[in-house]
Amino acid sequence: MPNDAIHKKFADCTTCHTVSQKSVISMKAAMPHPMVGACDTCHIMVNDPVAKGPVTVAAVWPVVPPARPDRGLADLFNNIILKLTLITLVASIVFTMLGVGGGFLYVPILLSCGIDFHTAATTSLLMLATAQISALYIFYRSGLVDLKLVIMLELPTMIGAFTGGVFSEHFNVALLAIMFSCSLFLASYVMLQDEVRLEGLGKSFSMSPWRWDREFGGYAYSVDMIVTFPMTFAVGFMGGLLGLGGGWLIIPIMVVLCGVPMRIAVATSSLMVPITGFAGFLGHSVLGHFEPKLALPLCVIAIIGAQIGSRMSLKTESNLLRFAFAFVLGLVGLWMILRVFWG
């Protein structure tokens, strides 16, 4: 980073500059300057020491320069939106069917198109929020959305999401991606357990004196507030940081810790995800990360997919939903780990 008369203080480079070439920085070396935002905005983070010499090694990644607000609508449509139409539609169908927002796929896809991380996270949050609101009508009409459970779990999640969005510029994205992948693997493993074992885990948490007992849709389940509230805040916080809706871990929390049936958990998540998504979106937006010319067309595509996915979810057997959910979580977790270490 230059230290001259023009740059009086350290700030986010992307405020004034478009980063088209990133320098390689070793994660084992000392930071070259104070923290001013996400490291991977300007640098390629590697584990190995970087070769020293008169020339600094740099790589052009991604090939397309990061999308900035000054790019025209035609440019965005031809280079990004048109390419993402099919994959966004399919992803929205699958993830709505499973009760998750899909931010863990939207963000990497947007990054691969040259969108900077913060714009990608903000766009992802708005996409998953609008898509899940679209699906909510279908789920609510089915009578499977537990509104009282939403009120109980969503407040700490929403606060965490807004906080994560506001503080998103102060965290190492690579480290967060690793932590997120580990949480995906854990959630995937838990969801693959048989129903008897899951019910046993849920009952072990239902003995707390700080529990809230609930009967809904012919089922009885309990929420341990001491355990669940900090966990849902953490889910919201990480979701706000990374551009995710939180359904990837909220559903395992409902199923495993609270004993909520999978079908009710998926439907209830369709209301929680957009609330969390909008909270994270607002946190990013106050920092100027919102690009409407990119986000709004992709939101329309995601809404169409959500209408299809919600109808498919109601016709799918509960155990199949659970195993498909676990498989997708594990697959995405593996993909993100590979991206962090091997690009």
Check whether residue 141 and residue 178 sit in a common domain: yes
- Give residue 219's pLDDT: 86
- Give residue 119's pLDDT: 87
Check whether residue 160 and residue 201 sit in a common domain: yes
State the residue range of the domain holding 33: 13-59
Strand partners, 43: 23
- Give residue 304's pLDDT: 94
Q: What is the largest CA-CA distance in the chain?
A: 71
Low-confidence ranges of the chain (pLDDT < 50): 1-6, 8, 53-70
Check whether residue 210 and residue 177 sit in a common domain: yes
- Give residue 78's pLDDT: 66
- Give residue 130's pLDDT: 92
Check whether residue 310 and residue 333 sit in a common domain: yes
Q: To the nearest whole number, what is the mean pLDDT of the chain? A: 77
Check whether residue 192 and residue 250 sit in a common domain: yes
Please indicate, yes or no, if residue 328 is contained in any of the structural domains: yes
Check whether residue 252 and residue 197 sit in a common domain: yes
Instruction: List, in order, residues 6 or more apart from 116 with CB less than 8 Å away.
Output: 14, 19, 41, 66, 67, 68
Number of domains in the chain: 2
Check whether residue 189 and residue 335 sit in a common domain: yes
Check whether residue 194 and residue 307 sit in a common domain: yes
Please indicate, yes or no, if residue 167 is contained in any of the structural domains: yes
Structure letter (DSSP) for residue 216: E
Please indicate, yes or no, if residue 4 is contained in any of the structural domains: no
Q: Cβ distance 213 to 220 under 8 Å?
A: yes
Q: Which two tokens stand for residue 279?
A: 């909270």
Check whether residue 279 and residue 144 sit in a common domain: yes
Check whether residue 48 and residue 83 sit in a common domain: no
Q: Which two tokens stand for residue 102?
A: 């899909």
- Give residue 61's pLDDT: 38
